[in-house]
């Protein structure tokens, strides 16, 4: 087998992961392929206008692109040239048929598997990077190995990246997980992939399992993290009702080493491409195996997350004299978290739609996410729309009755809030759903301030 690597899928998984692998393995040729010509053109753009925003990504791509990292639409040529094939295609939640709203839509993944089989010119290692339901590898293996022409080892190497810190997560991972068949061919394939990561990751952090454990671990890890977010937001509601401070509660709980401080920050709820999709996938799996009580438990995590966004809008309505009609709300932040332009399942999307239903005038501002916001809200935008997209936060706040901070970009605490207050209608309200602003300073300026969990 040769050492060349190809990744099918040039999105949030494939692009950053392969860039770091190329940087850390200068002796390997790494190719990222995709059927989306405009996306590949962006990866190859002279000014490095990459199709995704991730801190530090441009620097890595500049270092290796054209040396041992290449972006192409020639999937067939890349599959023939490389013996290790990572698959990072989109696996969204189904919107039709059985399992709609819960199960993963695997049509793109299956099409990729069939393409790999058709293009292969020898034995290959196929590595799942997309988040997939447990035992999906069996389906891929059935597609690939239904003839004796070539052998395919199907492994699972789930990503554990957090958008906004993906490059650091790749360079200094908590762990790398590689699962595969436990026969001779499968174990040899696992070692080949271990060798890729071992060029920079300490060996004790590279964990190997059977393929089913690797697939399930990805879903389970995201479900546990999502559960913590929903749990602290449930506590935040109690804090608001009783006069407790959720940040103080979280600080003391986090000091218990059995709990720890991570993912105990109250806010508008989780978003992004993974948490909701993976929890719903877990719900579907539990139902499929007759584990109905477990399914309801995990479904509750999703319901609590959606309730948190409804609760934010309800509090805003209550504090603004029970009506938002024709009042202007400046929404600060549309990305699901800071340091990314990703708006998939962003809490801001649900909140903006609820504000629009209340006939509020909405000005959305965000440093990176406005292009995606325009796509997500296309059905609400137009000549009669009450929504405007404004890159300048000061302009977004002009004449507003309220500022609703939804994403904790570092830019926002450093803004001139006196200037913002002076430009707004009075009484002026700030609802800081991320608890990242100086509450007392805002009050001293004259703002009425709302926080989550306070």
**Per DSSP, what are the bridge partners of residue 128?**
87, 156
- Cβ neighbours for 243, distance < 8 A, ≥ 6 positions apart: none
Rounded to an integer, what distance in angstroms lies between the CA atom of residue 135 and that of residue 16? 26
Which DSSP string corresponds to 58-105? HHHHHHHBTTTEEEES-HHHHHHH-SEEEE----PBP-SSTTTTTSB-
Tokens 């060798």 — which residue? 195
**Residues belonging to the chain:** 454
**3-state DSSP assignment of residue 313:** helix
Of 7, 82, 239, 274, the active-site residue reads 274
Rounded to an integer, what distance in angstroms lies between the CA atom of residue 422 and that of residue 192? 62
Tokens 């319901």 — which residue? 303
Closest CA to 12 of 148, 166, 156, 157: 166
Which DSSP string corresponds to 325-371? TT-EEEEE--SSSTT----TT-HHHHHHHHHHHTT-EEEEE-SS-HH
Closest CA to 53 of 335, 311, 271, 254: 335
φ, ψ dihedrals at 398, nearest 5°? -60, 125
Give yes or no: 274 in active site.
yes
Extract long-range pairs of 105-113: CB within 8 Å, 24+ residues apart: 106/132, 106/133, 106/136, 106/139, 109/136, 109/140, 110/139, 110/143, 112/8, 112/9, 112/87, 113/87, 113/140, 113/143, 113/144
The number of angstroms, rounded, from the C-alpha of 26 to the middle of its chain's C-alpha atoms is 28
CA distances, 217 to each of 152, 156, 202, 406 (Å): 23, 10, 21, 30
Tokens 């999105």 — which residue? 11
Q: Looking at the annotation, which residues are catalytic?
A: 274
């Amino acid at each position: 087998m040769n050492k060349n690597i190809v990744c099918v899928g040039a999105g949030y998984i494939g692009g950053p992961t392969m860039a770091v692998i190329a940087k850390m393995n200068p002796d390997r040729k790494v190719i990222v392929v995709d059927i989306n010509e405009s996306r590949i053109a962006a990866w190859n753009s002279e000014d490095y206008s990459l199709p995704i925003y991730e801190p530090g990504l441009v620097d890595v791509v500049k270092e290796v692109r054209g040396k041992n990292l290449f972006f192409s639409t020639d999937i067939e040529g890349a599959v023939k040239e490389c013996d290790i094939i990572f698959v990072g295609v989109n696996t969204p939640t189904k919107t039709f048929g059985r399992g709609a709203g819960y199960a993963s839509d695997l049509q793109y993944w299956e099409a990729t598997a069939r393409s790999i089989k058709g293009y292969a010119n020898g034995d290959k290692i196929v590595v799942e990077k997309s988040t997939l339901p447990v035992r999906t590898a069996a389906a891929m293996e059935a597609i690939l190995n239904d003839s004796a022409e070539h052998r395919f080892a199907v492994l699972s190497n789930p990503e554990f990246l957090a958008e906004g810190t993906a490059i650091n997560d790749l360079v200094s991972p908590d762990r790398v997980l590689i699962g595969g068949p436990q026969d001779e061919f499968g174990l040899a394939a696992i070692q080949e992939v271990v060798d890729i990561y071992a060029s920079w990751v300490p060996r004790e952090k590279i964990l190997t399992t059977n393929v089913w454990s690797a697939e399930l671990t990805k879903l389970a890890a995201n479900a546990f993290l999502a559960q913590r977010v929903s749990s602290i937001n449930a506590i935040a509601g109690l804090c608001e009702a009783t006069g407790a401070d959720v940040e103080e509660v979280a600080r003391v709980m986090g000091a218990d080493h059995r709990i720890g401080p991570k993912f105990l920050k109250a806010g508008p709820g989780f978003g992004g491409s993974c948490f909701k999709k993976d929890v719903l996938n877990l719900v579907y799996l539990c139902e499929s195996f007759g584990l109905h009580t477990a399914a309801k438990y995990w479904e509750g995590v999703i319901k609590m997350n959606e309730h948190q966004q409804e609760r934010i809008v309800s509090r805003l309505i209550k504090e603004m004299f029970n009506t938002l009609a024709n009042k202007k709300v400046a929404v600060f932040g549309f990305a699901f978290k800071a340091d990314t332009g990703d708006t998939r399942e962003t809490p801001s999307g649900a909140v903006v739609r609820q504000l629009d239903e209340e006939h509020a005038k909405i000005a959305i501002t965000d440093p990176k996410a406005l292009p995606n916001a325009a796509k997500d809200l296309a059905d609400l935008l137009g000549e009669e729309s009450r929504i405007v997209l404004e890159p300048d936060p000061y302009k977004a706040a002009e004449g507003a009755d309220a500022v609703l901070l939804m994403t904790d970009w570092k830019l926002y605490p450093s803004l001139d809030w006196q200037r913002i207050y002076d430009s707004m209608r009075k009484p002026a309200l700030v609802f800081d759903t991320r608890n990242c602003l100086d509450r007392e300073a805002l009050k001293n300026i004259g703002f009425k301030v709302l926080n989550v969990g306070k």
